[in-house]
A and B are shown apart, each in its own frame.
Chain A
Amino acid sequence: MLKIKELHASVEGKEILKGLDLEVNAGEVHAIMGPNGSGKSTLGNVIAGREGYEVTRGEVAYQGKNLLELEPEERACEGVFLAFQYPVEIPGVNNTYFLRAALNAQRKHRGEEPLDSVGFLRLVRERLEVLHIGDELLHRAVNEGFSGGEKKRNEIFQMAVLEPKLAILDETDSGLDIDALKAVAEGVNQLRSPERAIILVTHYQRLLEYIKPDRVHVLSEGRIVASGGPELALKLEEQGYTWLEDGGIAELEQAAV
């Protein structure tokens, strides 16, 4: 579903991704781990098409299309979803209104009829129930005044409503207490499906105790330096990221074989 080849990207003239390769298939859950500054968030933003993230070299193919040619909203309509590390507060824009506008834009793109407010509310309530989220967030402005946990849950809720094909969760676990983490993980697990690919970007192994990834990748200095199964994450947790610099990469590579 997603094929990234030799991706180089820079922010404000500084190269962050330096030849990243990654392949993710439908139905798979991949975890990308790495120390701060390794380029984890950059990857998510590049895939979603954020301005200021300049791709200098490489390819990103998504369902056979060149993703880099598309506008951010076209990517979203094609089924790419980014759960933001820092969801943006938009005062004055009602959460429900926002989500319906998004859903109908995507439906229109797919040639489907827009959902009327009754149909939409039905869908929303159903999703809220599945995710065990109260409906009070529907009445508020997008993320405005939300706690850190509420914002992350709102991201998962949006994902549940929009039903993307490829979801990238950018440090969705950061800043959450254990209850909120469990709730978020549960939400993600419910959204696992054979048609959907999920990329978890995370600093800690903690999240992976609740969401079992199929593949784990280690990102360091803008490149994937090792890939393996869930045990790779445990190894990393045990040794710490500094170990990467002390020759750990070679060791990892062997372990991953």
Chain B
Amino acid sequence: MNRQSSLSTQDFLAHSVVRSGDPSWLNTLRQSASDRFLGLPGRKTEQWKYTAVAAQSVRATADDADTFEPRVPQPLIDTDAKVVLINGDVSEMPGENRDGLCVKPLAAALQEADQPLVDLLESLPIDGRQHAFSQLNTAALGQGLYIHVAAGIDAGELLLQWPCGAEEMNHARICVVLETGARLHLVEQFENGSQHPAKLNLVEQIELGEGAELFHSRLQHYPAESLLIGRTEVRHGTSTRYSFTGMDLGAGLARHDVRSEFAGEGAGCSLNAAVLGSGDAHVDYHFEADHQAMNCQSGQLFRAVAGDRSKIVFNGRVHVAPGADGSDSQQSSAGLLLSRKAEIDAKPELEILADEVVAAHGATVGQLDQAAMFYLRSRGISEEQGRKMLTLAFCRSVIDRVPHEALHESLAMRLTTAMDELESGHE
């Protein structure tokens, strides 16, 4: 990521973002995002310090599809509740919605303009350059999905597949509303059926009504040179739960911002990710637990294995607002460097403004446990195999958070395969 941002605002937002025929509130939203765009973040923007964005790979939004032959990969799990979004556009919907689960293309939902959806879209926090991609996303608002789960419904699994490969960057938005006591497991597969690189800028907004629970599992295995910018904003009502588990095995640049904001008391989140960096991949995770209400609990778990020339970044932030007593936050991040050309950067932050708080974090970067390695070898297991076993075990604590057994298996297998494919392994 040595290339400097060189494109100006005009390059991104050269065309008018207003679309005739769309409701005026929507065009106002697009236009104001476009007006406030300050350019892409560079090293000076703290949240992008370790991920200076290459502007060249990010172009203005365009509606026109192009030569990319979409090939949809094997679905990660077997389910009839499956949506395929090609270049951010819905191309395949579930034949029939389950009771209480409503999934519709965002474009249609925007025309209907349900109040909860409009509120959600208008509430997305935007902060200068830090959220430059969100601004681009809002300026291009139109693609994506609206997912709604009615009160008290357990909607099971919903799989989203994201084959993507247009020349231009695609901007997609997923809005998820879980009503009181609702439950959903959102599974996302960022993968192409071919080696065509993806360019996707995704914003997800999740609203959890009282007692609602969302599991969110994500596999990112885009081809090399792909660009994925993903931002997930979760607003927690009282006693809600959000569990995120991400696994990254590919991409040129993948950036995930996942933020849980506790607006209601007694809520909890568990943010987990495992990254295996190979080739020239650059994967950057930003987790944030924002404790605004009392008695909320947050956990963050991050495991990074950096091989080849990869660079893995973890920024885990915990913020406890004044008065948010009873907050409990734990964070653990660990990195393994396998190669002399790889790099791991970690920034586990705590910002605590209330006193009845338990907050702790631990971060390590190093090698596999040598005692464990000798133990394996002393039983006849080769160094190579031992390294694989221990590296898998290292990531296991993250994958084990996935509640769905078949998905769990599938992720574990993917990880093993990816490990086998590491170009250089160790040096």
Residue of B nearest to A89 (CB): B372
| Contact present for A48 and B382 (CB under 8 Å) | no
Is B59 an interface residue when CB atoms closer than 8 A count as contact?
Answer: no
A163 CB to closest chain B CB, in angstroms? 12
Are B375 and A90 in contact (CB-based, < 8 A)? yes
A62 to B176 Cα, complex, angstroms = 67
B162 → chain A closest CB, angstroms: 29
Given A76-B380, A105-B380 in contact, is the A90-B372 Cβ separation under 8 Å?
yes
CB–CB A72/B374 < 8 A: yes
CB pair B374–A102 under 8 Å, yes or no, is no
Q: Does A73 contact B (CB under 8 A)?
A: yes
Instruction: Tell me if A162 and B379 are in contact (CB < 8 A).
Output: yes
| With A93-B389, A101-B385, A105-B385 as contacts: A48 and B378 at CB distance below 8 Å | yes
* Cβ < 8 Å to B, chain A residues 68-87: 71-73, 75-77, 81-82, 84, 87
Could you tell me if B375 and A162 are in contact, using CB atoms closer than 8 angstroms? no
Contact of B390 among A76, A87, A90, A109 (CB under 8 A): A90
Question: How far in angstroms is the closest Cβ of chain B from A42?
Answer: 14
Residue of A nearest to B391 (CB): A92
Question: B35 within 8 Å of A by Cβ?
Answer: no
Fill in one digit per residue for B374-397: 1 if any A CB lies within 8 Å of its CB, else 0.
Answer: 111111111101100110111111
- Let me know if B393 and A72 touch, CB within 8 A: no
User: Are B374 and A91 within 8 A (Cβ)?
Assistant: no
Q: Which of A23-80 contact B (CB under 8 A)?
A: 48-51, 71-73, 75-77
One digit per residue, 1 when the CB lies within 8 angstroms of any chain A CB and 0 when it does not, for chain B 349-383 equals: 00000000000000000000111101111111111
Contacts of B396 in A (CB 8 A): 91-92
A102 touches B381 (CB 8 A): yes
Q: A50 and B374 in contact (CB under 8 A), knowing A102-B379, A158-B379?
A: yes
Taking the complex as formed, is A257 at the interface, i.e. its CB lies under 8 A from any CB of chain B?
Answer: no
Tell yes or no: A106 within 8 A of B by CB. yes
Residues of A within 8 A of B395 (CB): 92
Contacts of A109 in B (CB 8 A): 380
Find the A residue at minimum CB distance from B384: A73
Task: Give the Cβ gap from A65 to chain B, nearest Cβ, in Å.
Answer: 16
Return chain A residues, CB-CB under 8 Å to B386.
73
Residues in A with CB closer than 8 Å to B371 are 88
On chain B, the residues within 8 Å of A51 by CB distance are 370, 374
List A contacts of B394 (CB < 8 A): 92
Q: With A73-B380, A76-B379, A91-B397 given, is the CB distance from A101 to B374 under 8 Å? A: no
- Cβ of A91 and Cβ of B379 under 8 Å apart? no
Which residue in A49, A91, A101 is a CB contact (below 8 Å) of B378?
A49
Residue A243 interfacial (CB < 8 Å): no
B379 contacts A84, CB within 8 Å? no
Are A91 and B393 in contact (CB-based, < 8 A)? yes
Q: Across the interface, do B397 and A82 meet the contact criterion of CB distance under 8 Å? A: no
> Which B residues are CB-close (under 8 A) to A102?
376, 379-381
A77 touching B380, Cβ below 8 Å: yes
Distance A75 CA – B383 CA, assembled complex (angstroms): 13
Within 8 A of A (CB), among B387-426: 389-390, 392-397
Q: Are B380 and A98 in contact (CB under 8 A)?
A: no
How large, as a class, is the contact surface on chain A?
Answer: 20 to 34
B397 → A minimal CB distance (Å): 6
CA distance A211 to B380 in the complex (A): 27
Which parts of A97-119 form the interface with B (CB within 8 Å)?
Answer: 97-99, 101-103, 105-106, 109
**Nearest CB in chain A: distance from B384 CB, A:** 10
Tell me which of A73, A82, A158 has the highest count of chain B C-beta atoms within 10 A of its own C-beta: A73
Partner of A92, one of B370, B381, B393: B393
Contact A71 B383 (CB under 8 A): yes
The chain B residue with its CB closest to the CB of A99 is: B379
Are A101's CB and B389's CB within 8 A? yes
| Bound complex: CA A71 to CA B384 (Å) | 12
Give bound CA distance, A49 to B374, whole Å.
9
Query: Within the complex, what minimum Cβ distance (angstroms) separates A83 from chain B?
Result: 10
Q: Is the CB of A101 within 8 A of B393?
A: no
B247 CB, nearest partner CB in chain A, Å = 15
> Which residue on chain A has the smallest CB distance to residue B393?
A92
Cα distance A229–B226 in the bound complex, in angstroms: 72
Question: In the complex, which residue of chain B has the Cβ closest to the Cβ of A106?
Answer: B380
Instruction: Collect the chain A residues with CB atoms within 8 Å of residue B369's CB.
Output: 88, 90
Asked if B397 and A72 sit within 8 Å, CB to CB, the answer is no
A93 to B393, Cβ gap below 8 A? yes
**Contact status A72-B385, CB under 8 Å:** no
Q: In the complex, what residues of A have CB within 8 A of residue B374's CB?
A: 48, 50-51, 72, 88
By a CB distance below 8 angstroms, the chain A residues around B382 are: 73, 105
Mark A103-141 against chain B: 1 for CB-CB distance below 8 A, else 0.
101100100000000000000000000000000000001
Residue in B closest to A158 when the chains form the complex, CB atoms: B379
Contacts of A162 in B (CB 8 A): 379-380
CB distance from A171 to the nearest CB of B (A): 16
Given A73-B383, A88-B371, A101-B385 in contact, is the A93-B390 Cβ separation under 8 Å? yes
Find chain B residues with CB under 8 A from A89 CB. 372
Is A92 within 8 A of B397, CB to CB? yes
Q: Could you tell me if A88 and B372 are in contact, using CB atoms closer than 8 angstroms?
A: yes
Query: Which of B370, B381, B383, B397 makes the CB contact (< 8 A) with A101?
Result: B381
A73 to B395, CA, bound (A): 24
Max count, chain A CB within 10 A of own CB: residue among B375, B390, B397: B375
Task: Write out the residue numbers on chain B whose beta carbons fall within 8 Å of the beta carbon of A87.
Answer: 375
What are the residues of chain A within 8 A of B377 when measuring CB–CB?
49, 71-73, 76
Contact partners of A82 in chain B: CB under 8 A: 378
9 pairs, CB–CB < 8 Å, chain A vs chain B: A73-B383, A76-B379, A76-B381, A88-B372, A88-B375, A92-B397, A105-B379, A105-B382, A109-B380
Q: 7 closest A-B pairs (Cβ-Cβ)? A: A92-B393, A76-B380, A92-B396, A102-B379, A72-B377, A88-B375, A106-B380
Apart from A77-B380, A88-B372, list 6 A-B contacts with CB within 8 A.
Answer: A71-B383, A73-B380, A76-B377, A81-B378, A89-B372, A105-B379
